[in-house]
Chain A
Amino acid sequence: MIEIKDVVKRYGAGESCVEVLKGVSFNIEDGRFAVILGASGSGKSTLLNVASGLDKPDGGSVIYDGENISLYDDKQLTQFRKNKVGFIFQQYYLLPHLSVEQNVKLGADLAKNEDYKSIITAVGLGDKLRKRPSSLSGGEQQRVAIARALAKKPQVLFLDEPTGALDEQTGRQALDYICGLQKELGFTMIMVTHNRNIAEMADIVVCMNSGRISEIYQNQTVKSAYEIGW
Chain B
Amino acid sequence: MIVGVKDSLKLIGISAISFCAVLVCAMFLNYLIDVNLAADMAGAQAAALYKAQVLTAKVVVAVTGGCLGVAAMIMLFFYIKNYIDAHKNELGILKAMGYSNFRIALHFWSFGFGVFFGTALGFAISYAIMPEFYRAQTEGGALPELAIGFHAEVLAYTVIIPTVLFAVGAILYAAIKLSRPVIELIKDREKCSDKMCREKPDDKPFLVSLKRSVLSSKKTLVFFIMFASFCFSAMTQMSVSMDDYAGPMLMAMMMVIGLALAFLSMLIAVVSAVNGNAKTLAMLRVFGYSRTECCNAVLGGYRPFAYLGFAIGTAYQYGLLKIMVELVFKDFGVPELKFDYVVMLISLAAFILLYEGMIFVNVQRIKKISLKQIMAEN
Contacts and interface: CB of A to CB of B under 8 A. Distances in A.
Contacts of B90: 93-96
A110 B192 contact: no
Interface in B70-115: 89-90, 92-101
A87 interface: yes
B96 A91 contact: no
Contacts of A96: 90
B192 A54 contact: no
A54 B93 CA distance: 10
B94 A106 contact: yes
B333 interface: no
Given A82-B97, A93-B93, A152-B97, A49 B192 contact: no
Contacts of B179: 74
B98 A93 contact: no
A149 B94 CA distance: 11
A81 B198 contact: no
A11 interface: yes
Interface stretch (B53-61, B180-188, B274-282, B341-349): B180-188
B192 A87 contact: no
B194 A13 contact: yes
B314 to A, nearest CB: 42
Interface string A54-81: 1110000000000000000011001111
B197 interface: yes
B192 to A, nearest CB: 6
A74 B96 CA distance: 12
A89 interface: yes
A11 B98 CA distance: 25
Interface in A102-157: 106-107, 110, 148-149, 152
A229 interface: no
A227 interface: no
Nearest to A13: B194
B9 to A, nearest CB: 13
A49 B95 CA distance: 13
Contact of B198 (A13, A85, A98): A13
B204 interface: no
Interface in A5-30: 11-17
A54 B97 contact: no
Contact of A78 (B92, B100, B192, B198): B100
A100 B186 CA distance: 21
B192 A12 contact: yes
A199 B183 CA distance: 26
Interface in B179-216: 179, 181-183, 186, 192, 194, 197-198
B94 A55 contact: no
B129 interface: no
B183 A83 contact: no
Interface residues of B, number: 25
A95 B6 CA distance: 14
Among B4, B97, B183, B192, residue most surrounded by chain A Cβ atoms (within 10 Å):
B97
A56 B182 CA distance: 11
Nearest to A91: B89
Contacts of B89: 91, 93
Contacts of A83: 98
A89 B99 contact: no
Given A12-B197, A94-B90, A86 B97 contact: yes
B189 to A, nearest CB: 9
Contacts of B6: 97
B183 A55 contact: yes
A152 B98 CA distance: 10
A97 B4 contact: yes
B2 interface: yes
A202 to B, nearest CB: 23
A87 B97 contact: yes
Contact of B183 (A16, A49, A94, A149): A49
A11 B197 CA distance: 10
Given A54-B182, A55-B183, A81 B94 contact: no
Interface string B210-231: 0000000000000000000000
17 contacts: A11-B192, A54-B96, A54-B181, A54-B182, A55-B181, A55-B182, A74-B179, A78-B98, A78-B101, A80-B98, A81-B96, A82-B98, A87-B93, A93-B89, A96-B90, A106-B94, A106-B97
Given A15-B198, A85-B98, A149-B97, 19 more contacts: A13-B197, A13-B198, A14-B197, A16-B197, A16-B198, A54-B182, A55-B183, A78-B98, A78-B99, A81-B97, A87-B97, A96-B90, A97-B4, A106-B94, A107-B97, A110-B97, A148-B97, A152-B97, A152-B98
Interface of A: 11-17, 49, 54-56, 74-75, 78-83, 85-87, 89, 91, 93-98, 106-107, 110, 148-149, 152
